[in-house]
Structure 1
Amino acid sequence: MLGFGAFKPSFAALSGRAVYIPWRLSSTRKANVRKRLRAADEVIDVLSQTGVSCRVLEKVQKQPKEHEMLSKDKYYVFSRKDRGYRKGVQKVPKFTRVPLPRTFPKGLQ
């Protein structure tokens, strides 16, 4: 029996999702993904112009920029478990805060 008043269970307590993960990205969220990719590209350009050199910076410079990427590479990431080896970027925990790979593994493109 469900509780009432102060002890009313939430949906998460009833084994529901606490955070809703949309099935597909909205156009606004896609625009925000592109904006984050462009911001990262600008940071990489500024660092390369200052003359700083390190192995990580050289590796990142070899990756494609936002305007060079295909849409399936912008909005999807590699997942070994999913059919087609891709899953939506919104299903990655903290996808707005962690750097995501811009390239797909060589043999599975």
Structure 2
Amino acid sequence: MFGAFRPTNPLSGGLLWKIPWRLSKFQKARQRKRLRAVDSLVATLDKALTKKSITTKAVERWKEEMPIEQEMVPKDKYTIFDRKEKKYRKSMRKLPKWTRVSQRVNPPGY
């Protein structure tokens, strides 16, 4: 019982997180909603700043570089580039705090 071959607890034996690599249709809908919310926020901020004839470098850079939700391909909406993965893509949920981080721009071709 207490020797080299004692039974182990199966629950503490390994990683038990079972995260599917795909997002469900509800998670995809929430992701699209978050992307559209950010787009509307940037548009509102830009409109308010142009009313006061002020420009900000951060807002202008965002408008130049980041595509809006309708312009993004589904691959970029729901997966992120990861050079360590087999096909260089992994599910958005594998990224820590994926609801808070903007992952709109990925390397071309992957």
Are positions 1:14 and 2:16 aligned together? no
The aligned residue for residue 43 of structure 1 is: 41
Q: Distance in 2 between matches of 1:105 and 1:23?
A: 20
TM-score (norm 1): 0.77
The aligned residue for residue 62 of structure 2 is: 60
| Shift, 1:81, TM fit | 0.9
TM-score (norm 2): 0.77
Aligned residues: 99
Give the residue type in structure 2 aligned to 1:94. K
Larger Rg: 2
* Larger RCO (alpha carbons 8 Å, 6+ apart): 2
Give the residue type in structure 1 aligned to 2:15. G
Q: Distance in 2 between matches of 1:64 and 1:73?
A: 10
Structure 2, gaps ≥5 residues long: 1-6
Q: Distance in 2 between matches of 1:36 and 1:58?
A: 20
Q: How big is the alpha-carbon RMSD for the aligned residues of Structure 1 and Structure 2?
A: 2.0
Structure 1, gaps ≥5 residues long: 3-8
- Identity, in percent, stands at 39
